[in-house]
Amino acid sequence: MQQRTLGNAGPVVSAIGLGCMGFSQGYGAVDDDESVAAIHTAIDSGATLFDTAQSYGGGHNERLLARALRGAGPQVRVATKFGIVRGADGVHLDAKPERVREYCDASLARLGREVIDLYYLHRVDPEVPIAETIGAMAELVRAGKVRNLGVSEVNPEQLAQAAAVHPIAAVQFEWSMLWREPERDVVPAARELGAGLVPYSPLGRGLLTATLTSETVTTSDFRRNDPRFAGENLASNMSRVEALRALADRLGITPGQLALTWLLAQGPDVAPIPGSRRAARIVENLAAASIELGADDRAELDKIVADGWAGDRQSFAAHGTSRSDALSSDIDHV
């Protein structure tokens, strides 16, 4: 597995990591033993970046990851996030500076680790200036509890405000062939500040795998409520997926691998984190890091991507929408 560095002096990680949210929420019933086995498969396949959050399963995901990574070795890098709080009373945002150390200590305890390799602000709390939250996170670095800081779903202005307080090693956001809006603003802003790029949902919430059916769309809350998976938009996007499938078939790879290969080719600072609960799918995704496309194949793929996709994604608070939108968008990996 090729390695990439996040940020100017951030962690060195596998070119493709593993988004772990699905082991705890978003996709129905889970089996912890199967999840641990799948994570072990990821390690055996070369993954070193494992992404979780305090909100995933209300802490279950971090505890599961601790179990799975026990004895995994020093090459493993753990990223976790705070700012979305999920509990018996519902879900809310909280990035108050006075709570940051408490959240970090709780994550460290659940993860069974002495230090977090990459600690993200999961979502900006609209009630707290981001500079104040980052200031409290920087204290964690000085205390030796955290090695590197990251931010998730921020706009360029918020990113600049964060970086003015402490170096930001990574910016996490949705980016794929299906959703290229970040290329207009967040990507260049992050590169100007020397932050690495960690795309979640790099497979277009499953659409770019060419395995979705109308049933899998209608039975999934986060897809059913996404405009890209509705009506004429879905029909249009499915037709583009067929073009993706045709190219992938000719190359002897899967559509999902082709989508990840395209994303990796956007720059050496890109490290996507696709998620899956299936060991075979994890192996497939990670194998994309070793695929190289010829010039003609890249040109054909560029045509498919340039044609555009139908529908806007669900909005996030970082883009000026409501708190409820930000919380409902806690789907970070597929």
For residue 137, count other CB atoms closer than 10 A to its CB: 28
Contact 1, 289 (CB under 8 A): yes
Is residue 186 within 8 Å of residue 155, measured between CB atoms? yes
Catalytically annotated residues: 56
Question: In sequence order, which ranges of 156-310 are alpha helices (DSSP H)?
Answer: 156-163, 186-193, 214-218, 221-224, 231-251, 255-264, 279-287, 295-306
Backbone torsions φ then ψ of 88, nearest 5 degrees: -65, -25
Q: Which residue has 């897809």 as its token pair? A: 223
What is the chain's length? 334
Tokens of 313: 């994604």
**Judging by beta carbons within 10 Å of its beta carbon (0-12, 13-18, 19+), is residue 260 exposed, middle or buried?**
buried
**Cα-only R_g, the chain:** 19
- C-alpha distances (whole Å) from 159 to each of 81, 92, 294 are 16, 22, 35
Phi and psi at 32, nearest 5°, equal -60, -35
Distance CA 138, CA 144 (A): 10
**Residue 281, both tokens:** 């799918």
Query: Are 277 and 20 a contacting pair, CB within 8 Å?
Result: no
Contact 64, 307 (CB under 8 A): no
3-state secondary structure of 214: helix
